Amino acid sequence: MLELRGVTKRLGATLAVDGVSFTVRPGSITGLIGPNGAGKTTLFNTVAGHYAPTRGSIRFAGDEIAGCAPYAIFRKGIVRTFQIPRPFPEMTVLENLMLVAANQPGERFWNTWIRPGRVAEHEKANRARAMEALEFLNLTHLAGQQARSLSGGQLKLLELGRAFMADPKLVLLDEPAAGVNPTLMNAIAERIRALNARGMTIFLIEHNMPLVMSLCDPILVMANGRLLLEGDAARVRGDARVIEAYLGGDAAAAGAPHG
Amino acid sequence: MIDVAAYLVFFLCLALIYGLVCLGLNLQWGFAGLFNVGVVGFFIVGAYTVAILASPAAADRVGGFGLPIPLALLAAMAAAGLVAFVVGIPTLRLREDYLAIATFGIAVTIQLVALNWETLTGGTHGRVSIPRPLASVFVDRVNANLFFLAVTLAVVGTADWALERMVRSPWGRVLRAIREDETAAGALGKNAFAYRLQAFVIGSALMGLGGGLYASFIGYVGADDALPTLTFQIWVMLIVGGSGNNKGALIGAVSVWGLWSFSGWFMAAVLPSAFAVRAGALQVILIGLVLATVLLLRPKGLVGEEAVVSRGARVE
């Protein structure tokens, strides 16, 4: 589904991502872990089109997408969320979601004039879908509120709502559960499984080990811009290199990664 | 009394023409976040377009086709929109300050062209004999102004209605999303450049339409009309009225133009004639003071920004 070959991204003097190759299998929930500064978010930004890779190839569903603009990558069927939620604060929660729906002819200004009926029809369908998303997220009561009034946790859910609305082939989740309480974390994990069950392939970055271990298979581990290993939870948990990457060489003997 | 009423009609015509230009700027700045500091450039392109197309033929002047005013006004919109398209293509991909530099530069360039290309623009003498719509029917000065006011009201009303409809359409929603967070909008499949270009061209076309109406109303357009003062005035109108709100743009236009006209009359009446030349500078200072006061007391303008929700997403 998503296939990276020798992807390298240089940011200034550092090789943030250094010759990374892997494949995300269709239908999987693939996890990406690694210590801070390992290059995970840079890798995501490169796949999502915010950066063009310095070298290497990124193929999605057979097409080369390296260097495409973010909006073009979205249209190929990849949607990303942000580590720090980026809602449109002045717009209502419902609008935030309706905006995501692709193929609304009314987004071309002339259709407001020459095809008002079709635009209204799409708006109605998109609204119904957005209400469905709000129900999925348990946020129905906030539909008419401006997104700026939402709490941090609600904004995390709204990011997932974007994936629900876009109905993409692949979802890139950048730390979907960072900074949320345990109850909400379980709710988010449940939603991620549900999106996966709807046929979306999930590729996520996360620091919370129990969450990653229970949710993801396979798990990719990055350190210093390189891919360290790929495997299921048991394999990653038991690998000495992972422990070393997280705790540094000498401390490796002291214990496993937190969690 | 008749005199006052007649003046009021004249005043409203001009104020509404500026209101139309202000609506164009509001689409660009209020809804798309585009910093256009060359408003006068698009206005004057529209004005000369009407002058060239609608006026009768004259010796040593290009044009003079005597076209009907509605056609000339449409051409004025197209010409200003075309200039915006050409300026927008290279600049709208860049950071917003580049658009400011480019629009300012283009407005100054157009003013210099207007001053020097005499066969096209009439240079310092300007272009004269620009007709009004149905000039042969409404010959009497008062009736002519009244009719022109009706035309202007219809044009401004239509523009306001159309813009309200557009900003509440899915297109307007994308525009607002891009203004709020371009990165997030891009990640959701919206091509920010294409939307900015559309808003820039449509807004500039309205400025051109305003310029065309102005030329037809005054009957004359010259290089003096292309000075940056107008850009300053339109910006003050938008900020005082409340950017992001079409009603605010219109209210701002009428009130600031009212203040401008009144202060001009007042200073001419009160100041000794030796100071008359400096009165213009005093007017600019006065408007600047009003702007500063409004920003201090009502930072969002007289009307303030309106919370726009697209039609399909209203929640009771």
Residue pLDDT, tens place only, A191-237: 999 999 999 999 999 999 899 999 999 999 999 999 999 999 889 88
Q: Tell me which residue in B180, B189, B315 faces A94 most closely, judged by beta carbons.
A: B315
Pairwise CA distance, residues B184 & A252, whole Å: 39
Residue-wise pLDDT tens digits, B60-77? 788 888 899 999 999 999
Indicate whether B240 belongs to any domain: no
Express as a percent the part of chain B with pLDDT over 70: 100
Domain count within chain B = 1
ω into A218 cis (within 30 of 0): yes
Judge: A91–B192 Cβ closer than 8 Å, yes or no. no
pTM of the model: 0.91
Whether chain B has a CB inside 8 Å of the CB on A99: the answer is yes
Residue A253 is predicted with a pLDDT of 45
Residue B1 is predicted with a pLDDT of 67
**Residue A251 pLDDT class (50, 70, 90 cuts):** very low
Query: Shortest Cα distance from A138 to chain B (angstroms)?
Result: 17
ipTM of this predicted complex?
0.89
* Sheet (strand A201-205) strand order: A78-80, A170-174, A201-205, A29-33, A219-223, A226-231
Whether chain B has a CB inside 8 Å of the CB on A40: the answer is no
Could you tell me how many residues make up chain A?
259
Residue B262 is predicted with a pLDDT of 87
**Residue A254 pLDDT class (50, 70, 90 cuts):** very low
**Residue A258 pLDDT class (50, 70, 90 cuts):** very low
Indicate whether B254 belongs to any domain: no
Indicate whether B274 belongs to any domain: no
Query: Shortest Cα distance from B312 to chain A (angstroms)?
Result: 6
Residue B141 is predicted with a pLDDT of 82
For B124, which DSSP code? Answer: G
Whether chain B has a CB inside 8 Å of the CB on A127: the answer is yes
Residue-wise pLDDT tens digits, A27-38? 999 999 999 889
Q: CB of B111 within 8 A of CB of B226? A: yes
Indicate whether B295 belongs to any domain: no
Indicate whether B286 belongs to any domain: no
Residues of chain B with pLDDT under 50: none
In a mutagenesis test of the B interface, which of A71, A75, A141, A160 is the best target, namely the one with the most B β-carbons within 10 Å?
Answer: A71
Query: Shortest Cα distance from A127 to chain B (angstroms)?
Result: 7
Average pLDDT, chain A: 91
Mean pLDDT, range A250-256, rounded to an integer: 45
State the residue range of the domain holding B207.
Answer: 2-226
